[in-house]
Amino acid sequence: MSQKIDVRSSFIAPASSSSDVLGRPTWAEIHLDHLTGNFHALRARVGPGVKILAAVKADAYGHDAVIVARHLEDLGCHWFGVALPEEGIALREAGVTRPILCLGGFYNDQASLLLEYGLTPTIYDRGMLEKLDAAARARQRVASYHLKVDTGMGRLGVPLAELEEFLDRLDHYSHVRMDGLLTHLASANEPRQDEFTRRQIERFHQARELVRRAGHQPTYYHLASSAAIYAYPESWGNMVRPGGALYGLFSAAPELRPVMSLHTRIILVKTVPAGAPLGYGGTFVTRRESRIATLPIGYQDGYCRAFSNTARVIIRQRYAPVVGRVSMDLTLIDVTDVPGASVGDEVVLLGEKDGLSVTAMELARKAHTISYEITCGISRRVPRVVV
């Protein structure tokens, strides 16, 4: 029988148990077999000459960065990408040893922490370079960094027009070394923006040539995130940065499977008459005598209020609609058409079961957002359970 491990409490229970997690029966499952398959699919896509930097920022898009990074490290992932040094430090303290790139750079006096924990920063202005150089000089060592160029995203990065001047001043910093050059593509997932994306790729090649002429030889050149890995092979460089594709949140590649599923159990079933308003504001009114089930999950858990009266769940091999407003801690579903639905029944709010599925893309459409925000939004009070 398969086992499920609650990484928060180390509680182990058979997959069919009625108490899969301690306390409230609401949990998210992290399917490591799907993560393995997605990683191998990406590995096959880019080939052996291109390294993979797995984006595990934002707690691995809500999947639990420690769980994900440890597993991907075992699979041979080359690098990990985080947004903040704090995220990188957490991985180091959890035993992750592969190189970690802080994609958002660092703040204030964090340069010494980068050196202490073996983190590589992204640099995009001279002030950061000065701090990193000073921290490395104090430790009598040379610190590596990746230089970010802004080719059209408009966020972080040295503007291409200012890059030559920036490079001319690098000789002032003797205790740092440019080991990577990167940019970020703004619209690789938008076919209508193809011309803009290709201009960004061309600008990156211009930046690479300027770096070469200035006498620098970075080990890594990278600009492709998930969408570009599939749509723009010419953007691969010698390292790619998949995020959503790793977690099965990328619909353009059907071979990728969702890594997260979200589950709960019915805690109450009641019969209500026709004409009964349900939930805050009475936004749903029953049109018939109905059986209404209460679920112990709400928008504080990341099950969005936007799902009110729009989303569906899976229970007993059938779909059941969400009715009334999703509240902070509780959600109602209509189980009138689900024979035998009762307290303790498992409900799948995100995921696949019995040939039915509720995808992150489907929920994202309900909330007028993207699939990444759905998994990122599952809060930390929902335990992640490794399957």
d(CA 91, CA 56): 10
Q: Name the residues annotated as catalytic.
A: 57, 280
pLDDT at 251: 82
Residue 377 DSSP label: T
- Domain over 3-28+258-386 is classified CATH 1.20.1300.10: no
Band (20; pLDDT cuts 50, 70, 90): low
Continuous segment of H or E residues that includes residue 119? strand 119-123
Partners of 263 in the beta sheet? 27, 348
Q: Where are the alpha helices (DSSP H) in the chain?
A: 32-46, 57-61, 65-75, 85-93, 111-117, 126-138, 160-168, 194-213, 226-231, 360-367, 371-376
d(CA 375, CA 378): 6
Average pLDDT over residues 320-324: 98
Residue type, 276: A
The answer for residues whose C-beta is within 8 angstroms of residue 241's C-beta and 6 or more apart is 53, 54, 55, 81, 222, 224, 225
- For a pLDDT cut of 70, what percent of the chain falls above it? 95
Give how far Cα 104 sits from Cα of 156, 157, 211, Å: 8, 10, 21
CATH of 32-240, one of 3.40.50.12160, 3.40.640.10, 3.20.20.10, 1.10.275.10: 3.20.20.10
Q: For 168, phi and psi rounded to 5 degrees?
A: -60, -25
d(CA 332, CA 327): 9
Q: Tell me the range of 8-22, 246-260, 298-312 where mean pLDDT is highest.
A: 298-312
Helix axes 160-168, 194-213, angle to 10 degrees: 10
pLDDT at 190: 87
> pLDDT tens digits, residue range 134-153?
999 999 999 999 999 999 99
The answer for residues whose C-beta is within 8 angstroms of residue 245's C-beta and 6 or more apart is 38, 42, 226, 229, 230, 253, 256
Least confident of 62-66, 152-156, 186-190, 261-265: 186-190
- Using the predicted structure, report yes or no on whether residue 219 has a pLDDT greater than 90: yes
Residue type, 127: G
Map out the domains of the chain as residue ranges.
Answer: 3-28+258-386, 32-240
pTM greater than 0.85 (yes/no) = yes
Give how far Cα 224 sits from Cα of 52, 139, 178, Å: 10, 34, 19
pLDDT at 7: 38
pLDDT at 262: 98
d(CA 53, CA 51): 7
pLDDT at 154: 94
> pLDDT tens digits, residue range 191-204?
889 999 999 999 99
